[in-house]
């Protein structure tokens, strides 16, 4: 039996247990994937270090990390893989011989999801909402996809500035910070929601729909629900849209391999996500 799980807040609706356990069963072994929900467990953010250390001691093979711990977990790990070091955030941790190594599969998951789901999309100017752990991965992916101008907007301007500075080494002059109150889209060709706004536990819409037009494509990393308020509003205005299901399965497929050491089948995991709905 391989033990794994997900650390985060308000994650009871997560599809990760189903995706990981079904893939393990298809390969002929058992995997126990637990939800370590800090809200349900009544734990404070400050408890993260001790909780992670307990997982190290309990012979857990590894775990995934989601909001709001993708950056906070770094200080509690022994090493970072190149993917996590490049992004500055961790969503997957492998535990081997008592050592914990952080990885990031969000970046490649989002990049491939956009490439497959929005072929021919215009990356001239992209407005990204959110600069947290997931936002760091999304921003790196957008630069890789050829975004000529990436405008980052976050409720915490200092966090947006820190992300922009981290990206300058690979995208000098292509990344700017937006004022959190400025959602104008006159020159924008695409919008990505990398905030938790729109999740089942955090309903809402991160931008006034009046700023959306058919000339703009819209992607949301939220996958539960798939039809977020943002995507519904965007489709009503004729926008091309992309939900978060492709990203979540692609990052999960890579994370499965990192944690278990077994190869994963992306097509099967994509089908399993649909089967559970």
Give me the residues paired with residue 8 across strands. 37
Q: Work out the number of other CB atoms within 10 angstroms of the CB of residue 267.
A: 10
Cβ atoms of 129 and 155 within 8 Å: the answer is no
Sign of CA dihedral 195, 241, 140, 123: negative
Judge whether 70 counts as a catalytic residue.
yes
Cβ atoms of 118 and 127 within 8 Å: the answer is no
Please state whether beta strands 149-153 and 125-129 pair in parallel, antiparallel, or not at all (unpaired): parallel
* 3-state DSSP of 10-70: CCCCCCHHHHHHHHHHHCCCCEEEEEEECCCCCCCHHHHHHHHHHHHHCCCCEEEECCCCC
**Active-site pick, 70, 103, 166, 250:** 70
- 128 sits in the region (left: phi over 0; alpha: psi -120 to 50; else beta) called beta
Cα distances from 60 to residues 2, 28, 90, 246, in angstroms, run: 7, 19, 17, 27
SS3 122: coil
Cβ atoms of 153 and 140 within 8 Å: the answer is no
Which residues are annotated as catalytic? 70
């Amino acid at each position: 039996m391989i033990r794994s799980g997900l650390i985060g807040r308000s994650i009871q609706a997560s599809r990760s247990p189903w995706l990981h356990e079904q893939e393990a069963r298809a390969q002929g072994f058992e995997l126990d994937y637990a939800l370590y929900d800090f809200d349900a467990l009544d734990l404070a953010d400050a408890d993260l270090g001790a909780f992670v250390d307990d997982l190290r001691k309990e012979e857990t093979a590894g775990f995934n990390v989601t909001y709001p711990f993708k950056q906070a977990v770094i200080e509690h790990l022994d090493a970072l893989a190149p993917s996590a070091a490049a992004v500055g955030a961790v969503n997957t941790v492998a535990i081997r011989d008592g050592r914990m190594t952080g990885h990031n599969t969000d970046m490649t998951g989002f990049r491939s999801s956009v490439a497959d789901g929005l072929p021919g999309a215009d990356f001239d100017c992209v407005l990204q909402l959110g600069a947290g752990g997931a936002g760091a991965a999304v921003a790196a992916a957008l630069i890789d996809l050829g975004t000529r101008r990436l405008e980052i907007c976050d409720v915490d301007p200092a966090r947006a500035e820190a992300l922009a500075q981290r990206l300058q080494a690979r995208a000098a002059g292509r990344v700017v910070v937006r004022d959190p109150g400025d959602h104008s889209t006159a020159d924008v060709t695409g919008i990505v929601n990398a905030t938790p706004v729109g999740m089942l536990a955090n309903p809402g819409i991160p931008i006034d729909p009046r700023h959306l037009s058919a000339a703009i494509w819209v992607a949301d990393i939220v996958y539960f629900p798939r039809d977020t308020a943002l995507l519904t509003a965007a489709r009503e205005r004729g926008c091309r849209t992309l939900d978060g299901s492709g990203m979540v399965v692609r990052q999960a497929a890579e994370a499965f391999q990192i944690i278990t050491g077994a190869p994963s089948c992306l097509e099967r995991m994509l089908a399993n996500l649909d089967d559970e709905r």
